[in-house]
Structure 1
Amino acid sequence: MENAHALLELAGTLARQAGHAIMGVRAQGFSVTHKPDASPVTVADTIAEALITEGLLPTGIPIVAEEAAADGICPEPAPLFWLVDPLDGTKEFAKGRDEFCVCIGLVRGDTPLLGVLYLPVTGELFGGLVPERAAWKETSTGRHPISTRPAPPEGLHVLDSRSHAKPEALAKMLGGTKVAETRPMGSAMKFARVAEGAYDLAPRPGPTMEWDTAAGQAVLEAAGGRVTTLDGAPMRYGKPGYLNAGFIGWGR
């Protein structure tokens, strides 16, 4: 796609804007309400999604966004469509933790084409263009390429879900794999940490939604990793209801 780089840059700009808005809400204070599925939502979610959606509309590409979908506004999958989670890790955000991020992914066919993850607390922006296997991390020092790492000799460093941890399921998934460390972490920022080579594995035994994973999968796969279902099959997008089963984010 000729304009993939431009779309990636647009997504990055919008993710930053949304992240700044989220931090503004955090500084002012906020209340937490709950959607019909009992998941939490804050004004930060809605403000961030509005900013992102407004910025993506000129692309003419259909947008599937978490809060709009919760309100029943959810287009059918298209050959090319955006998947947006304006504030992934709302539970952690609501509890005052720093483990949340902005996720914007673009899906072509049934696989992620590109994506960005923005971590508002640290100001880190991660981007990835899957066909070119090009991933980067941008901070105040500039933009630098990132890649996954080979498994360390001491064993894998694993990122488990903080809010949805299932120790028995995780142990079964890992089997006899040599593990040096298991650390809990919230939100899709786990994809970023594996993509930059700080960790090796990010498993999730339970279900998620496609907007939770598309951007992170793009970044991780562009950095040399991969994301599969629990049985090792490729993660596909545009499924009924945009529902994922469990997944594993793999380093190199």
Structure 2
Amino acid sequence: MNELLESIKRIAWEACDAILEVYQNPIEVTDKKDSSPLTQADLSANQLISRRLSVLRPAWPILSEESAAADIEDRLSWTTFWLIDPLDGTREFINRNGEFTVNIALVHEGRPILGVIAAPVLNTMWYAVKDQGAWRQSPGEPARRIATTTWHPDQPLRIVGSRSHGGHEMERLLKVLPSYEFEGVGSSLKFCRIAEGAADCYPRPGATCEWDTGAAHIILDEAGGTVLRLDTETHKVKEPLRYNQHHSLVNPDFVALGQGLAEKWNHPGLLNLSIGTAP
């Protein structure tokens, strides 16, 4: 797995270079069928990653945000596969705020077991392999092990959320949480903030897809955190996210949490449920 990880890290850095080539020039945007934006950077990074993964051995199938519809339908029989988002945070890329990433995960039996996130503009990478910890690294520097921190009730809850997505359900959830500080962060960098102890949680009521979370999930797990399903009605957390278990690739509502917060989250003293259930 360590040899495989080094290969994936190299591929992710190469994808960063391909994205930056587009980023340095005027950006042309088209709309996909679901009205989400698409740029040449998405396509270039996807082609590079897919081509490089296809020659690795063992040869596992590849599922990408830019995969053809036929490939997506064929996936339910896969036990082990690559799950990639070649450019997570396309809106952040278009807005040129630097908060976009390359996400590559290896999923086995419904759970990510290897994950790499690379941020081209930040020139930083986060990665993890199951049971080997989570790490942060920049080119030319030694890797540094990262870990989540434990939130204490006498401190504000440090929440990270989307810069480009929000909505009524997020507002409703925030009303039942204790005192908090909110930071808007793009792409899978929200998970990285929690994994390295700079934030406590990332609640996400609303649509995301499995490629948005796969790599980040294993990194946060190995840093001491977790990613759990969120019941939007009760605001309670449930079991961890699973991957490639259904015909739909849309994730259920979830919340990413730092160390120990899962137990505290469902405790009656954390959530003010009387506010959340009021008409």
Question: So what's the TM-score if we normalise by structure 1?
Answer: 0.92
1:190-226, CA deviations, whole angstroms, 9 ceiling, x for partnerless residues? 1111101111101110011111110010111111100
Partner of 1:245: 252
Equivalent residues in 2 for 1:1-252, closer than 5 Å = 4-59=1-56, 60-69=59-68, 72-74=70-72, 75-77=74-76, 78-130=78-130, 132-140=131-139, 141-152=141-152, 153-166=154-167, 168-174=168-174, 176-231=176-231, 232-238=238-244, 239-252=246-259
Counterpart code for 1:213? T
Deviation (angstroms), 1:29 = 2.1
Deviation (angstroms), 1:164 = 1.1
Counterpart code for 1:200? D
Secondary structure of 2:248's aligned partner: helix
Counterpart code for 1:38? S
CA distance in 2, matches of 1:213, 1:80: 17
Aligned positions, number: 246
Structure 1 portions without partners, runs of 5+:
none
Let me know the Cα RMSD of the aligned residues. 1.6
Name whichever of 235-244 and 175-184 sits farther off.
175-184
Contact 1:133 1:221 in 2 (8 A): no
Secondary structure of 1:215's aligned partner: helix
Contact 2:27 2:39 in 1 (8 A): yes
CA distance in 1, matches of 2:163, 2:220: 20
CA distance in 2, matches of 1:179, 1:114: 34
Counterpart code for 2:8? A
CA distance in 1, matches of 2:132, 2:101: 22
Contact 1:63 1:82 in 2 (8 A): yes
Deviation (angstroms), 1:175 = 5.5
Counterpart code for 2:134? A
Question: So what's the TM-score if we normalise by structure 2?
Answer: 0.84
Contact 1:113 1:129 in 2 (8 A): yes
Q: Report sequence identity in percent.
A: 38
- Name the structure, 1 or 2, with higher relative contact order (CA <8 Å, separation 6+): 1
Contact 1:157 1:179 in 2 (8 A): no
Counterpart code for 1:106? L
> Higher Cα Rg: structure 1 or 2?
2
Contact 2:101 2:188 in 1 (8 A): yes
Secondary structure of 2:240's aligned partner: coil
CA distance in 1, matches of 2:26, 2:143: 32
Counterpart code for 1:26? Y
Secondary structure of 2:128's aligned partner: strand
CA distance in 2, matches of 1:242, 1:85: 13
Structure 2 portions without partners, runs of 5+:
232-237, 260-279
Question: Residues 72 and 43 of structure 1: is their aligned pair in 2 closer, same or farther, counting only changes over 3 Å?
Answer: farther
1:80-120, CA deviations, whole angstroms, 9 ceiling, x for partnerless residues? 01100000000111122211100001111011111010011
CA distance in 2, matches of 1:7, 1:205: 34
Secondary structure of 2:55's aligned partner: helix
CA distance in 2, matches of 1:220, 1:65: 21
Counterpart code for 1:241? S
Partner of 2:262: none
